[in-house]
Amino acid sequence: MPVDGSGIPAANVAPKSRTMQIVEKLGIAAVNQLPLRVRPHVLRASRRSRPARRMAAGIPVTEQTISGVRITWLAKRRGHPVILYLHGGAFLAGPVSVQWKWLVRVHRQTGLAAGMLLYRRPPRNPHPAALEDVIAAVRALHADGELPEGRWVLAGDSAGGNIALAAVQKLRDTGGPLPAGLLLISPLVDMELAHPDTVAAIDAAGIERDDKFWWAFELYANGIPFSDPTLSPINASLAGLPPVHLNVGTDDFFLHDVRRLRTALRSKGVPVTYLEQQGAEHVYALRLNTPQAQWAVAEQIRWLRQVLSLDPSSQPDNQG
């Protein structure tokens, strides 16, 4: 097993291509120049409710609506171990191709039934709609025997990680059911982004508060203070949570808040597997064509097999 907090050597980390950096920068700038009322609709249009046909070749893809919540499944089988995934995207965008690729890879290498939960989004459905969707779907799936006790994991990246952590806290406080584990990829855990180390990192990058995501946070929060524990789950109790797999890159603005989450979880006796990749950016584990993502995903899969007591021979293949 790797040393806690380790990753591949920083010298081996594949940086984003210059073309990708330019495209992302121009895309963010273009969205932020649009009228505020238009921006969420542009991001919402990025949603891909199903994986590309070629990406999921050979995998049964089905759609379900339960308690009013839409879920797209990869190889759903009643009573089979499950990973339920909440996509990121500033609470507005997604799921997009890289998130589907990650979920397909996990399914192919573990044999888990994999569900992408398509939670409601602002502006029509601000907080707590997404959180309510996750809780309602989990309870309904569990009641129907589709989330076997001790045989399912809740996962999420970025904003999806925020919702996943808040949902598990709410489920803990209201009688469950709880997953066997919580897998968080570069999660947003403190919407205020006000910790001094986080502020320093943002200032050093020359990011203004109106850039990138603050306007989306405000749209999602709908007037609720960012410090509210359901928006910043690091402010809620972390006691009694299931084992957590947590990863972040050192070039991620969320780094210091994720480190705080790791420390706080462990102080409450929660088992934490923590990966910190030197030189990696936000949600680096989703860039499956890079060595740092391949290493991180291998460790995520190792953890999934352990926490769900999976038989390694049950995996269908290693492709995808």
Res 289 pLDDT > 90: yes
The CATH superfamily label for domain 10-311 reads Alpha/Beta hydrolase fold, catalytic domain (3.40.50.1820)
Cβ(138)–Cβ(115) below 8 Å: no
d(CA 148, CA 41): 37
Q: Is the dihedral of CA 313, 314, 316, 319 positive or negative?
A: negative
DSSP conformational letter for 185: E
Report domain extents, the chain.
10-311
In Å, how far are 152, 232, 258 from 217, measured between CA atoms?
Answer: 29, 11, 18
Bin 206: left if φ > 0, else alpha if -120 < ψ < 50, else beta: left
Res 301 pLDDT > 50: yes
What is the pLDDT, as a whole number, of residue 47? Answer: 83
3-class state of residue 29 by DSSP: helix
Per-residue pLDDT band at 14 (split at 50, 70, 90): confident
* Percentage with pLDDT > 70 across the chain: 88
Q: What is the pLDDT averaged over residues 221-227?
A: 97
